[in-house]
Amino acid sequence: MLFKKVKNDKIKPMVKAVFFDLDDTIVNSLPLHLKANQLAFEKFGYDYNSIQKKVKDIDFMGRRVSDILIIKREASSISENEMPIKKLVEARENIFLELVKKETAMLPGVINLLEKLKEHNTIIAIVSSGTKKYIDTCIDKFNFNKYINFIVSGDQVSKGKPNPECYIKAFQYLNIKYGHFEKSECLVVEDTKNGLIAGHKAGLKTLLVPSKYSVLPKTIKPDYQIKSLEEFDLKIIVTG
């Protein structure tokens, strides 16, 4: 979808806050998530490939890791006594964070876009299903501190995407911390169906940047769509 054209570059910005998803929107992380899941289940003595076969038709993209692990454990009829979810989540998190530190990469166009948004005094947040530790690890690794105003993590909400709680919380915090904002002045940037549904249910504008892993039904209709963040046209900021 092409962005609207604007003639006057001095028009007051219509989009004043941008809420970015993290996984495969800002950083390339899905292969690391899959690897961490496998190693965590194998640590408890279970064959991960057989577990995957039982959940192959479920769309996990954009969901919280804790929710994903619970679904996979239950689908394999593994009891809490056999595999305590708290220990599974902790083991998986430790494995994943080490992989992130060593192997994750920033996606093209991220820093350039963040710098341009800051030039327009845009409030920038990361709203992710990932844990706070994971988000902080990425912020530290890629020096995002000077761009990101605040974060909302998966462990700060009771329900993960596609539930809109994370984006509702982000919008509420935005208004508490930075003054009055309308929902029409906020843009959600996502790569998954579950993320777009969450943003839409929260009443916010959505921009789809599909990754090579994205599987999106035709019924999902974002307000805007681009192929990569390198294509982000700042005219959306002044036209809304």
8 A C-beta contact, residue 210 and residue 21: no
Following DSSP, what letter does each residue of 180-226 receive, concatenated?
Answer: ---GGGEEEEESSHHHHHHHHHTT-EEEE---TT----TT---SEE-
| pLDDT given for residue 60 in this prediction | 83
Summarize pLDDT for 119-175 with one digit per residue, the tens. 999 999 999 999 999 999 999 999 999 999 999 999 999 999 999 999 999 999 999
Q: How far apart are CA 118 and CA 86, in angstroms?
A: 39
Q: What is the pLDDT of residue 190?
A: 96
Alpha-carbon span 221 to 206, nearest angstrom:
9
At residue 108, the 3 state secondary structure works out as: coil
**Which has the higher per-residue pLDDT, 1 or 61?**
61
Region 92-104: mean pLDDT is 96
**Does position 58 have pLDDT exceeding 90, yes or no?**
no
Q: Please state the pTM of the whole predicted model.
A: 0.86
Report the C-alpha gap between 124 and 217 in whole angstroms. 28
Q: At what angle do helices 85-103 and 65-75 cross, to 10 degrees?
A: 130
Assigned token pair, 116: 């341009």
Confidence (pLDDT) at 221: 87
C-alpha 187/C-alpha 229 separation (Å) is 14
pLDDT-derived band at 4 (thresholds 50, 70, 90) equals very low
Taking 70 as the threshold, does the pLDDT of residue 219 lie above it?
Answer: yes
H-only helix segments in the chain: 30-43, 48-54, 65-75, 85-103, 110-119, 132-142, 165-178, 193-201, 235-239
- Gap between the Cα atoms of 234 and 240, Å rounded: 10
Largest CA distance in the chain: 64
